[in-house]
């Protein structure tokens, strides 16, 4: 893997909220096609790390490079970089004033200047993929949580991103809806999408993750395969955490 260039390069990143170091010297390289799952206790900085990668959070120190483009370089347009990074939020964040179809076509039409018919064709293809084509014409509030999250994934995919970022995509869902969202994510992983997922769904991690990253108190404490974490996590805090969630 190290022969190719990383598509996401995070090096020596610090992020402070007042006195609190939400990210404390974090470095992480993600390679094309890789699936990385980030785990760790609440407040450990997982969301902050993920949000730093598309600059929803401004870091205080360190470097973040996406697809060869430094997020903080003057000559790089952050909006163009963000088009390469799809993001899925815990709370879906669909646009409630737009139909499902419009949620998917808005950005491609406005930002990529894709003709409407083509954008709609693509949207239908994606909606079919996430199993929700029949809801194209309705407003998001008419959908269940699981359906909304699947639409949110499709919306991010509609921009044809190189990397998908997931921030606890299933933790706001009723238990019976978690499966349908994870299924979509597994399918996406099988298709070769580069994915960085903050999730505690260890079944998902075992199925698709190349690497699991354990964070605590703003630091990456341990990196390894899912099996490694199931069987023999080394760091005491990683061990304790795994005992708690399994």
Partner 1 sequence: MPDKQEVRIDVSDGAAIPRKRDIGLFSAWWISLIGALGCIAYLCLAKPEPYLDILKFLPDGILVTFEVTILSILLALFLGLITGLGRISKNRTINLIASTYVEVVRGIPLLVQLFYIYFALGQVFSNLPNPADVAESMAAWPGIIVYVVVGVVGFLKDMPPLVAAVTAMGVCYGAYMGEVFRAGIESIDKGQTEAARSLGFNRRQTMFLVILPQAWRTILPPVGNEFIALLKDSSLVSILAVADLLRRGREFASVTFSYFEAYTMVALIYLVITLILSKGVSAMETRLNYYVRD
- Give the count of alpha carbons within 13 A of 224, CB side only: 15
Closer residue to ligand ADP, CB minimum distance, 31 or 241: 241
In whole angstroms, what is the distance from residue 87 CA to residue 160 CA?
A: 12
Closer residue to partner 1, CB minimum distance, 19 or 79: 79
Q: Write the CA distances from 66 to 71, 73, 83, 144, 155, integer angstroms.
A: 7, 11, 11, 34, 21
Residues in Cβ contact with 7 at an 8 Å cutoff, skipping those fewer than 6 apart = 30, 31, 32, 66, 67, 162, 163, 194
The residues in 178-197 that bind ligand ADP, with binding defined as CB under 6 A, are none
Q: Is 170 in the site for Mg ion (CB under 5 A)?
A: no
In whole angstroms, what is the distance from residue 35 CA to residue 208 CA?
A: 7
Q: Which of 44, 47, 54, 122 binds Mg ion (CB under 5 A)?
A: 47
Residue 95 interaction partner, one of ligand ADP, partner 1, Mg ion, none, beta carbon < 5-8 Å per kind: partner 1
Q: Is 245 in the site for ligand ADP (CB under 6 A)?
A: no
Closer residue to ligand ADP, CB minimum distance, 43 or 137: 43
Minimum CB–partner distance for residue 154 and partner 1 (Å): 12
Q: Is 16 in the site for partner 1 (CB under 8 A)?
A: no
Q: Which of 43, 96, 192, 203 binds ligand ADP (CB under 6 A)?
A: 43
Closer residue to partner 1, CB minimum distance, 97 or 190: 97
β-sheet bridge partners, residue 14? 24, 61
β-sheet bridge partners, residue 88? 166
Tell whether the torsion through CA atoms of 140, 128, 186 and 45 is positive or negative.
negative
Closer residue to ligand ADP, CB minimum distance, 43 or 96: 43
Binding positions for Mg ion, rule: CB under 5 A: 47
Binding positions for ligand ADP, rule: CB under 6 A: 17, 20, 22, 40, 42-48
């Amino acid at each position: 893997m190290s022969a190719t260039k990383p598509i996401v390069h995070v090096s020596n990143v610090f992020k402070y909220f007042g006195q609190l170091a939400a990210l404390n010297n974090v470095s992480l390289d993600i390679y094309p096609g890789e699936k990385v799952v980030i785990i760790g206790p609440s407040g450990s900085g997982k969301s902050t790390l993920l949000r730093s990668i598309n600059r929803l959070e401004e870091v205080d120190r360190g470097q973040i490079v996406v697809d060869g483009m430094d997020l903080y370089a003057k000559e790089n347009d952050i909006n163009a970089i963000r088009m390469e990074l799809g993001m899925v939020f815990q709370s879906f964040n669909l646009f409630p004033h737009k139909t499902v179809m419009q949620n998917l076509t808005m950005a491609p039409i406005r930002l990529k200047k894709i003709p409407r018919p083509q954008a709609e064709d693509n949207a239908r293809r994606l909606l079919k993929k996430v199993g929700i084509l029949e809801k194209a014409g309705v407003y998001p509030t008419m959908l269940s949580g699981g359906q909304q999250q699947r639409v949110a994934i499709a919306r991010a995919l509609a921009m044809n991103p190189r990397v998908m970022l997931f921030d606890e995509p299933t933790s706001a869902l009723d238990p019976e809806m978690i499966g349908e969202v994870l299924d979509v994510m597994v399918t996406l992983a099988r298709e070769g999408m580069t994915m960085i997922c903050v999730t505690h769904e260890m079944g998902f991690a075992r199925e698709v993750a190349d690497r699991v990253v354990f964070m605590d108190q703003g630091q990456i404490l341990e990196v390894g395969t899912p099996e490694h974490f199931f069987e023999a996590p080394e760091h005491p805090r990683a061990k304790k955490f795994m005992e708690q969630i399994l």
